[in-house]
Structure formats: structure tokens, C-alpha cells
Structure 1
Amino acid sequence: MDPKAKKTALRGITYGLYLVGTKDDSGLNAFAGNWLTQTSFEPPMVALAAKAGTRSQQQIAASGVFSVNVLESGQKDMVTAFFRALEPEKNKLAGYEFETGETGCPLFKDALSWFECKVVEKVEKGDHFIYIGEVIDAGVHREGDPLTMKETGFYYGG
């Protein structure tokens, strides 16, 4: 396989950028996630990939829940702040205010919208875990265009 062709081809897959909230007995966290897709309308379900061995992946495994915060076009600085592990300061992560809902995972006030999921299935292959989550609650703060990887100049794949 031509490595350059593989990289170029895989980078043609389009992605959004989201803040994925996690929790366990040690506390709350959130990470910048981009591999997310809806897998079912009824019941509503999504598939989410989380890098194996990270704090967030381990929290999803332990708690069986996660939240997804849909960011708005132009919120590159916000998503970039979540490229590393963070510790909450009261009701803020990386300086961004959140509240918690049914799952106890962070729901960011600056996001366009959010939804919370209960894990119903997981797949452990390669260097990521794939979690299938049933959407158990959702909310909208405002309308707008979602943030995409293309807009930021970031790449995933290859």
C-alpha cells in the first residue's frame, strides 16, 4: 500500500469536532472528540470512538455514560483547550462553564447543543474503543452551524 495515498484517502473522511464529557468516581473530564456518528433512529443511538488507555476512555468504561456537546463553527479555541487532560475548577473545565444532567457528565453552556448517552455496547479493537450509546437526554442552547475539522485545519486519519 502506498502510505501517501492511504493518508490522503483517509483524510478525505469528514468529521465534526465535539466536546465529549466523561466521569467516574475520581471526577469529571472532557475531551475533544471527532469520531462520532448516529447509528439508530429508534431508539436514538450514536457510536463514539475514544483512544484506548486515556483517562476519558477509562471513565466511560467505568461509568457507562458520556455526554456529547456540539460546538459552533468558530469555537476552535474552545475545542483546542480539551486536547489534554483537565481538572475541574468548581463548575468549569479549561475555563468553560458546565452543568451536569442525568448522567453527571459535563454539559457546556457555550455549546450549541448537547446529548447524554448510556453505553449499550462496546468494541475493543486497535488503538480505540468504540462505544455505542443510547441517547437518554438532549438539549439545545441556540442554533448555529456545527464546528468541523476542515474549518480548523486539523486532520484525523492516515
Structure 2
Amino acid sequence: MDPKAKRTALRGITYGLYIIGTKDNEGVNGFAGNFLTQTSFEPPLVAIAVKEGTRSQKQIAESGVFSVNILESGQKDMVTAFFKSLQPEGNTLAGYEFYTEETGCPIFKDALSFFECKVVDKVEKGDHYIYVGEVINAGVHREGDPLTMKETGFYYGG
């Protein structure tokens, strides 16, 4: 297989760019994620791939929960702040205010909307682990167009 053709073809998959909230006994965390898709209407299920061995992956494995924050078009700076490891300062991560609801994972006030998930299945293969989450809570802060990978000019995958 031609590696360049493979990379180009796989980068043709369209993605959003989200802040995924996680937690464990030591606190909360958030990371920029894009491997996310809805997999079922009833029950409402999503699948997310998380890089194996990261703090966030370990937190999801331990807690069995995560949140997904849908960002608005133009919030490239916000998502970029979550490309690195973070420590909470009060009720902020990377300077962005959050609160918690059902799962205890961060929900960001600046996000368009959010949903929270309870892990119901997992696949631990490859360099990313896939977690299937049942949506147990959701909310909308405001209307708007979601941020996409294409808009940012970032590439992840391939």
C-alpha cells in the first residue's frame, strides 16, 4: 500500500473537534478529541477513540464515564489549549470555566452544547482504545455551527 495514498484517503474522513472531559480519584481532565461518532439512536450511543496510555484514556478506563463538549466554529484557540496535559485550577482548565453534572466530568460553559456518557463497551486494540458510551445527560448552552477539523487546518489520522 502506498503510505501517502493511505494517509490522504483516511484524512478525507470528516471530523468535528471536541473537548472530551474525563476524571479519576485525583481530579478532572480534558483533551482535544476528534475520533467520535454516534452509533445508535436507541439507546443513544457514541463511540470515541482515545490514544492508548494517555492520562485521559486511563481516566476513562478507571471511571467508566466521559463528557463531550461541542465547540463552536471559530473556537480554534480553545481546543488548541487542550492539546497538552492540564491541571485544574479551581473550576477552570486551561483558563476555561467548567462545571459538572451527572458524571463529574468537565462541562465547559463556552461550549455550544455537551453530552455525558457512561461506558457500556470497549475495544482495546491498536494505538487508540474505543469506548462506546451511552448518553445519559445532555444540554445546550447556545445555538451555533460546530467546529470542524477542516476549519482549523489540523490533521490527525492517516
Please give the range of the TM-score, normalised by the shorter of the 2 chains.
over 0.9
Q: State the partner residue of 2:113.
A: 113
Q: State the partner residue of 1:76.
A: 76
1:78 alignment partner, SS class: helix
**Residue 156 of structure 1, CA deviation:** 1.6
**Residue 61 of structure 1, CA deviation:** 0.2
Hey, what's the Cα distance between the residues in 2 that align with 1:107 and 1:88? 13
1:142 alignment partner, SS class: coil
Q: State the partner residue of 1:38.
A: 38
Hey, what's the Cα distance between the residues in 2 that align with 1:156 and 1:85? 18
**Residue 135 of structure 1, CA deviation:** 0.2
Hey, what's the Cα distance between the residues in 1 that align with 2:94 and 2:112? 18
Hey, what's the Cα distance between the residues in 2 that align with 1:20 and 1:8? 26
Hey, what's the Cα distance between the residues in 1 that align with 2:84 and 2:123? 24
Q: Gaps spanning 5+ residues in structure 2: where?
A: none
Hey, what's the Cα distance between the residues in 2 that align with 1:28 and 1:130? 20
Percent identity between the aligned chains? 82
Which letter maps to 2:51? K
Q: RMSD between aligned alpha carbons?
A: 0.5
Q: Gaps spanning 5+ residues in structure 1: where?
A: none
Which letter maps to 1:116? E
Hey, what's the Cα distance between the residues in 2 that align with 1:48 and 1:7? 20
Hey, what's the Cα distance between the residues in 2 that align with 1:89 and 1:97? 9
Q: Which string of whole-angstrom CA distances, capped at 9 and with x for unpartnered residues, describes residues 23-80 of structure 1?
A: 0001100000001000010010100010000000000000000000000000000000
The runs of 4+ residues in structure 1 deviating greater than 3 Å are none
Q: State the partner residue of 2:155.
A: 155
1:30 alignment partner, SS class: strand
Q: State the partner residue of 1:53.
A: 53
Q: State the partner residue of 1:104.
A: 104
Which letter maps to 1:146? P
Which letter maps to 1:154? F
Hey, what's the Cα distance between the residues in 2 that align with 1:157 and 1:129? 14
Q: State the partner residue of 1:16.
A: 16
Q: Which string of whole-angstrom CA distances, capped at 9 and with x for unpartnered residues, describes residues 104-142 of structure 1?
A: 000000000000000000001100000000000000000
Q: State the partner residue of 1:95.
A: 95
2:143 alignment partner, SS class: coil
Which letter maps to 1:67? S
Hey, what's the Cα distance between the residues in 2 that align with 1:122 and 1:140? 27
**Residue 3 of structure 1, CA deviation:** 1.0
Hey, what's the Cα distance between the residues in 2 that align with 1:3 and 1:38? 29
2:130 alignment partner, SS class: strand
